[in-house]
Amino acid sequence: MIKALVFDAYGTLFDVYSVRKACNDLFPDKGDAISQTWRSKQLEYFFLRQLFERYKPFDEITRDSLRYACKENGVTLSKEDESRLMEAYLELALFEEVEEVLKDLSEKQLVVFSNGSENMIAPLVDQSRIQPYIDSVISADEIKQYKPTPAAYNHALERLGVSREEVLFMSSNPWDILGAKSFGFRTAWINRNELPEEELDIQPDSIYSDLSGIKEWTE
């Protein structure tokens, strides 16, 4: 029986590319490219730092990634522009179905578990319409181990107070879903981009195009 529904934040609940408007406001015609590079470097940098064992909090990685994205796209990033774009990351848009789904599941334990540092993920959840439905927010920064390491998922499990089999973990990121499945969580991949399944020896329990499908786990 599923007792805890655990959601990744970036790309799962919140659209990381909603920062493109702020990027375009500052750098017309380059906002889309900057937002794409910003996200790809953000992922690359935390993976590399995990491998290097040179941990940095996610807010610092996000700032470093933004600086790289601007250099790659040939724009000058002032301190004021940097602050404005970092602030935009605290105001990401929810995906369309998220609020309704979480409201319908509010009788369950609903948890956000993110690689985002507390000073990023807590304000993001607090300013959003889903805040009333979220029981707790867990950051991998609490143990300085990023998902998809087993240590990160184990930290979340200890906070949840349930068994692995009683957790349904949801993410739009394949690496996150497969990390959670390898750890022993039940998993639902929110495949928003209609990607093919990974060629690895582990697969998610369920695959949905958005969060609406997870309701069948609680029926």
Domain count, the chain: 2
pLDDT for 16: 94
Q: Are residues 171 and 78 located together in one domain of the fold?
A: no
- Residue 84: predicted pLDDT: 97
Q: What is the mean pLDDT of residues 140-156?
A: 98
Same domain, yes or no: 116 and 141:
yes
| 8 is annotated as an active-site residue | yes
Let me know whether 110 and 125 are in one domain. Answer: yes
- 65 and 97 share one domain: no
Pairing of strands 109-114, 186-190: unpaired
The one-letter amino acid at 215:
K
Taking residues 29-41, what's their average pLDDT? 95
Q: Which of 88, 112, 146 is the last residue of a domain?
A: 88
Measuring CA to CA, which residue among 152, 161, 168 is closest to residue 204? 168
- The one catalytic residue in 8, 59, 81, 141 is 8
Cβ neighbour number for residue 207 with a 10 Å cutoff: 15
Q: Can you give the CATH number for the domain in which 81 is found?
A: 1.10.150.240
Average confidence (pLDDT) over 128-144: 97
- Asked if pLDDT for residue 101 goes beyond 90, the answer is yes
Nearest to 210 by CA among 66, 115, 100: 100
* Residue after which a domain boundary falls, among 42, 71, 88: 88
CA-CA distance, 41 to 68, in Å (whole number)? 8
| pTM listed for this prediction | 0.95
- Residue 31 sits in which domain range? 16-88
pLDDT beyond 80 at 219: no
Stretch 119-145: mean pLDDT? 97
pLDDT digits 0-9 by tens, 152-203: 999 999 999 999 999 999 999 999 999 999 999 999 999 999 999 999 999 9
Q: Provide φ and ψ at 135, rounded to 5°.
A: -80, -35
Instruction: State whether 80 and 133 are in the same domain.
Output: no
Pairing of strands 93-94, 186-190: unpaired
CATH number at residue 181: 3.40.50.1000
Buried b (16+ CB within 10 A) or exposed e, 154-188: ebbbebbeeeeebbbbbbbbbebbbbbbebbbbbb
Among 69, 88, 107, the domain-final residue is 88
- Do 102 and 84 sit in the same domain of this protein? no
Q: Which residues contact 120 (CB under 8 A, 6 or more apart)?
A: 58, 59, 62, 89, 90
* Domain match, 173 and 109 both: yes
List pLDDT tens digits, range 72-85.
999 999 999 999 99
Q: Maximum Cα–Cα distance for the chain, whole Å?
A: 53
- Please count the CA atoms within 13 angstroms of the CA of 19 that sit on its side-chain side: 26
Confidence of residue 218 (pLDDT cuts 50, 70, 90): confident
**Residues 107 and 212 placed together within one structural domain of the fold:** yes
Segments in the chain forming alpha helices (H) = 20-26, 31-52, 58-72, 79-88, 98-104, 118-126, 150-160, 174-183
Verify that 8 and 24 share a domain, yes or no: no
